[in-house]
Structures are given as structure tokens and as C-alpha cells.
């Protein structure tokens, strides 16, 4: 029998490992080692479950639950988020525990009804509402648009645990379920990856919610998210990192994303990178079609500038670059500079198109210059691009010193 893992007195992890998952939220977020669907059981006078799991893993969750409570009833289930990786097992759960009371945010109830078509007499809760389950009291905090309208977290007093759902999640799939088993650097890097690809468009909401939670003066010993490891040793570092993520706090770093067939645009990208890299800027260079969008989003999160290049394809930019720019806009990237560049044969409008898309996405252009190259760049052309890279490096560093 699969067993629960105790994380605090009377609080247990009863989730599942999905070691085979390689694409999370569709093909836009490839993951390397699988993920977890974290569900938590609180044993008190009223036994309470925090979230369920993907429907296909329901039986595993039930094994872990029964390893703690046997055939005892569960009195409450908290639906913190209606997305199926959190609520997929809800219907089967209610079949096993038909007398359990289900709690969700107002938006959560609406979404659950639209997804599963049956009213389970949901109890609607809002920020600061409480539920006494015996020795412990649960406090609910709505977190709309982190990353759906219905998200909320739950705090349990005395145990001092925050069940944070998608917030502070990552994809670390391990039976060592606490952060200190994996090291600070790995945990923060995985949290950054998750934030960039799931939460990034909602930075304003994240920043406001972090402030609100701090003002509640909660004593927090553990933060237990819906995916990945549980935070207990690195909570201050993780909260600090999340604040930086929310504000898109930037390093001296530039990300160059390009597409090229005959290497002309690639040569431009590498010359710009040379000028930047030799003058104190961390540079990441990616051929767009050969790179996962998840990698691009993660690297852009803490970059100061994004350079985007494309050749000319039937008087238009490369399809991969167009798709990248569309995602860039949808992720509401802010506080960053940008510039387009590219090569052409007989139509030189593509770079202007890229700059227009960058501006519409909310980025500030580094220069009014339209960087275009007719066919193969000469050594003189490349030298000029390296010099431009140097100038951009100095511009970015000077702005940091102000």
C-alpha cells in the first residue's frame, strides 16, 4: 500500500507522483523529470482534504488517505483550484465521501459547475473566512488570476501551514518531498521555471497578494504547494525570489532569439552577442525553432533586454518568431527593453514589423535604428553590429547605476 507522508502533526501529504509527465499545460511547457499532484490531509475532529489530484491517479491518493484514517469519513474537502490537475479526482472523491462538505471560492464554484455539471451544495468562501475543524481553524485567502480566477490558498493555524496551490509550485518529482533535500539553487531555479511558464502574466496580482499575506502577520512554518516539493527551510529565500519574479527584476542579461535559414540573421545575432558578452552582459542566444518556449520564457523573466531577429519569408517574419512574439505579448512582459534585427533579399520590412510587435507587447525599443542586412553581412557589417552590442551593454549598465 502507498502511504501518506507526515509533514506536521496531524497534517499529511497524500498526493501522487507523475514520473511520466513530460508536457505540462500542453506542449508549451516541457518538463524533464515529471511532476507531482499534491493533496493534503488534516486529521482533526473534522477530517479535511486540501485538493484532490488528476483523475487517473485518484486510487493512489485514496491509498495514501486510507493509510492514515482507514475507513473513517472525511468531513470537508477544500477545492482551492478547479483546474483538472487539482480537481480531476473530485467526482470520485464525492462518490466515496458523499457527506463531505465542499468549499471553494465563488469563482471556483462557478467553474466546478461548468466542468462537472453537478451541484454538490458547495460552500462559497472569500478572503478572511474561516472554518473551525476542531483544534485547528482554516483561514481562506482568495488569489484570483494566480493563475485562474478561482485560485485560493488555505492557512491552518497551530500547524502554521500554508496550502498555496499553484503559487510557489515547481516540477521536482521526488519522494524527498521537502526543499532542503534538493538544495536552494535547484529549488529556486525550478520555481523560476514554473513561475515563468504558468504565472508570469499575473505579476501584478502576485506582488499585491504577497503584500497582503505579509500584512496578515501569519506564522508560517511550511508552504505546501500543489506541485513539486514542500517549502520549510528556504521560505525567506523563496518569498524574496517570488517578489523579484513578480516585478521582473532584471540582471545584466540580454536574451537573443532569432530564426535563420542561410545563416545571415544568425551571423547578426552572434555579432550582437559578441559585443554584449565582451562588455559585461550575460547573453543567451537561441534559435527560436530549436528551443522550447519554456526555456525562452524562463530566461526572459530576469533579462534586461530581448533582441529578436528574423530573415524574410515571403515578405513576412519567420512563423516561429511570430509565434514567439505572440506569446511574449500574452505573458505581459514588462520593464524590459527590446530591438528587432534581420536580413533580407529584396523586401526589408520584416525588422520594422518585429519592432512594431515588440512595442505593442509593451517593450521599449533600445534604438530608433532599423537593423537590417541585405544578404550576407561583411566583416565591416559584423564589426558595426559588435560595436552596437557594446553600446547596448553600456546603455543597460548605465541605467542600472542610476
**Residues annotated as part of the active site:** 25, 81, 83, 85, 147, 166, 194, 227
Question: Are 342 and 268 contacting, i.e. CB atoms less than 8 angstroms apart?
Answer: yes
Q: Which helix (H) or strand (E) holds 391?
A: helix 379-401
130/59 Cα distance (integer angstroms): 30
C-alpha distances out from residue 42 to 109, 170, 179, 216, Å:
22, 23, 21, 22
Q: Smallest Cα–Cα separation from 249: which of 188, 203, 202?
A: 203
Positive or negative, the CA dihedral 359, 361, 363, 366 is negative
What is the DSSP annotation of 237-253? HHHHHHHHHHHT---SE
Which class for 198: exposed (0-12), middle (13-18), buried (19 or more C-beta within 10 A)?
buried
In terms of Cα–Cα distance, which of 51, 55, 36, 56 is closest to 82? 51
Asked if 152 and 79 touch (Cβ cutoff 8 Å), the reply is no
First-to-last C-alpha distance (Å) of the chain:
60
Amino acid at each position: 500500500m502507498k502511504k501518506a507522508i507526515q509533514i506536521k502533526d496531524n497534517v499529511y501529504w497524500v498526493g501522487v507522483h507523475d514520473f511520466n509527465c513530460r508536457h505540462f499545460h500542453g506542449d508549451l511547457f516541457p518538463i524533464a523529470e515529471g511532476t507531482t499532484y499534491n493533496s493534503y490531509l488534516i486529521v482533526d475532529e473534522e477530517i479535511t482534504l486540501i485538493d484532490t489530484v488528476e483523475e487517473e491517479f485518484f486510487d493512489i491518493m485514496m491509498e495514501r488517505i486510507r493509510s492514515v484514517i482507514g475507513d473513517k469519513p472525511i468531513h470537508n474537502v477544500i477545492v482551492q483550484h478547479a483546474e483538472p490537475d487539482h480537481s480531476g479526482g473530485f467526482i470520485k472523491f464525492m462518490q466515496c465521501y458523499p457527506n463531505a462538505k465542499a468549499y471553494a471560492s465563488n469563482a471556483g464554484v462557478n467553474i466546478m459547475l461548468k466542468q462537472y455539471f453537478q451541484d454538490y451544495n458547495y460552500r462559497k468562501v472569500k478572503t478572511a473566512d474561516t472554518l473551525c475543524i476542531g483544534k485547528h481553524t482554516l483561514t481562506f485567502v482568495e488569489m484570483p488570476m494566480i493563475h485562474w480566477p478561482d485560485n485560493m490558498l488555505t492557512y491552518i493555524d497551530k500547524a502554521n501551514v500554508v496550502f498555496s496551490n499553484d503559487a510557489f509550485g515547481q516540477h521536482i518529482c521526488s519522494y524527498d518531498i521537502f526543499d532542503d533535500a534538493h538544495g536552494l539553487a535547484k529549488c529556486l531555479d525550478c520555481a523560476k521555471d514554473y513561475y515563468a511558464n504558468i504565472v508570469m502574466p499575473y505579476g501584478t496580482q502576485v506582488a499585491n497578494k504577497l503584500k497582503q499575506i505579509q500584512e496578515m502577520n501569519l506564522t508560517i512554518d511550511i508552504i505546501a504547494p500543489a506541485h513539486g516539493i514542500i517549502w520549510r527551510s528556504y521560505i525567506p529565500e523563496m518569498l524574496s525570489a517570488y517578489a523579484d519574479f513578480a516585478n521582473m527584476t532584471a540582471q545584466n542579461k540580454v536574451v537573443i532569439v532569432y530564426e535563420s535559414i542561410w545563416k545571415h540573421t544568425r551571423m547578426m545575432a552572434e555579432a550582437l552577442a559578441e559585443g554584449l558578452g565582451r562588455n559585461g552582459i550575460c547573453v543567451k542566444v537561441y534559435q527560436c525553432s530549436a528551443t522550447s518556449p519554456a526555456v525562452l520564457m524562463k530566461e526572459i523573466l530576469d533579462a534586461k533586454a530581448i533582441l529578436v531577429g528574423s530573415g524574410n519569408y515571403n515578405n513576412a517574419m519567420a512563423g516561429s518568431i511570430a509565434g514567439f512574439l505572440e506569446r511574449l505579448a500574452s505573458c505581459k512582459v514588462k520593464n524590459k527593453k527590446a530591438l528587432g534585427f534581420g536580413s533580407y533579399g529584396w523586401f526589408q520590412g520584416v525588422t520594422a514589423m518585429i519592432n512594431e510587435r515588440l512595442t505593442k507587447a509593451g517593450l521599449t525599443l533600445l534604438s530608433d535604428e532599423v537593423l537590417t542586412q541585405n544578404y550576407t553581412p561583411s566583416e565591416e557589417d559584423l564589426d558595426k553590429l559588435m560595436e552596437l552590442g557594446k553600446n547596448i551593454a553600456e546603455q543597460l549598465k548605465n541605467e542600472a547605476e542610476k
